[in-house]
Amino acid sequence: MDIGTHLMKSLEFRTVFTVSVLGFDVPVTETVVVTWLSMAVLIVFSLIVTRSLREKPRGFQVLLEAGMGFLDSLSGEQFGKRGRTFSPYIGTVFLFLLVANIIPVFSPIAVFGHEPPFTIKPPARDINFSAALAILSILVVLFSGLGARGFKGWCANLLHPVPMMLPFNLLEYIIRPLSLCLRLYGNILGGFIIMMLIEAVFPVVLPVALSLYFDFLDGLIQALVFTFLTTLFIAEAVGVHDA
């Protein structure tokens, strides 16, 4: 198989199975399956680490509580007294994206022209996944602003700092999710394409080493960037840092 064919085949969104809903066959793609797998990993991990919590933490519980303490502290700095309201969402988005981005590390690779039995592809390479997550985040931003300021206060904020900024402030609710979506999608897709090209040219050793960067480190960076920007947008919507 030549490099072009290998790349095009890798970029396909294969249908794993179909589900019949109200007489319609709904295709379940690789993106959906890997998304479910990422959620399952987080759910199982949560059940395992929380089943034997102690009043006096020790072992792994110390690390967990330190992580929660850091998240609460960060949320407190960004959201003030509302920190505990938003910290579960911020933490969940980060962990979900982290798992979804790095899970391809465990995907088998082709060796000497032999195709692996299956591949695990990052769901964020599908713009539908990135768009859905960006839309969810901007909805949280919108309803957080309405809840914190009230409808009149939210409308008044659209006129800040001067009334002529109204159309530009409204456009932010389109530009921001678009920016979140394309940044995540573009970076993950770019790393995925590079890995596919490397696997096609150097099928042994090199893909494994570079996967630690393109799948793990880059996946971590993109999860941090998406979460950080979402945090800033929510903080601005609730008006914590308003003068």
Residue 2, pLDDT score: 62
* CB of 156 closer than 8 Å to CB of 148: no
What backbone phi and psi angles, to 5 degrees, belong to 236? -65, -35
Kind and range of the H or E run holding 28: strand 24-29
> How confident is the prediction along the chain (243 residues), in pLDDT tens digits per residue?
566 776 777 778 888 889 888 888 888 999 999 999 999 999 998 888 888 777 777 777 888 888 888 888 878 788 877 777 888 899 999 999 999 998 888 876 655 556 666 678 889 999 999 999 999 999 999 999 898 889 999 888 888 888 888 899 899 999 999 999 999 999 998 888 887 777 777 666 566 666 677 778 888 899 999 999 999 999 888 876 554
Beta-sheet strands, E only, within the chain: 15-21, 24-29
What whole-number distance in Å separates Cα of residue 225 and Cα of residue 30? 25
* CB of 109 closer than 8 Å to CB of 203: yes
Residue 243, pLDDT score: 44
Q: At what angle do helices 166-201 and 127-158 cross, to 10 degrees?
A: 160
Residue 116, pLDDT score: 64
The model's pTM is 0.86
Q: Which two tokens stand for residue 201?
A: 């040219």
Integer-rounded Cα Rg, in Å, for the chain is: 21
Q: List the one residue out of 228, 13, 232 whose CA is nearest residue 124.
A: 13
* CB of 139 closer than 8 Å to CB of 148: no
Domain-wise residue ranges, the chain = 3-53+94-238
Residue 32, pLDDT score: 92
